[in-house]
Structure 1
């Protein structure tokens, strides 16, 4: 905890990050002593500690945009669509996830990025 507080103090002192004056920049820090849960046989390693950050910032938009782009690339290859069909999720579920990543994008761009009719046909074919 001391390391985290020292890092925050350093950021504020060095002014290496420019905070806007119209938004509060307080930091809340806490510790969860329970190790993260892992699924047996899953692809995540068992860890003793993990970190989580909650932030109210517009700077996260760039990271979400990169994730959205990667989602589109993977979907174009149908890299993960079979998992949705194999666990009997509704066809709309994947599209719904896509929309939740694109909340800051206009609806027209979402419709252009993911053709819903084509998407539904793909899922229906997989479920039969």
Structure 2
């Protein structure tokens, strides 16, 4: 699939950016009950997976997730203008769709996400 091939090209660049971005978030977090959560370390060293592969473990949790993943990939330009990879752009598209529907007063709009 051409989209997967294109997204592989940008994966190394994205991994490097991800490592830089995580330096600012790896601080101890204090929960509301006063307990301290240690930072989550090592995730920025993990290779980025193609979106479909990264979402595969959630296919049993979210109804028809693979359809929405393919739709998000299809709707993403081959060269996203924001400097992100196709997969990164599609993830934002998926998140934005879910977030929009969560904020929508029409609760029926959430049915596809059950």
Same fold (TM over 0.5): no
The structure with higher relative contact order (CA 8 Å, sep 6+) is 2
TM-score for the superposition, normalised by structure 1: 0.28
Which protein has the larger Cα radius of gyration, Structure 1 or Structure 2?
A: 1
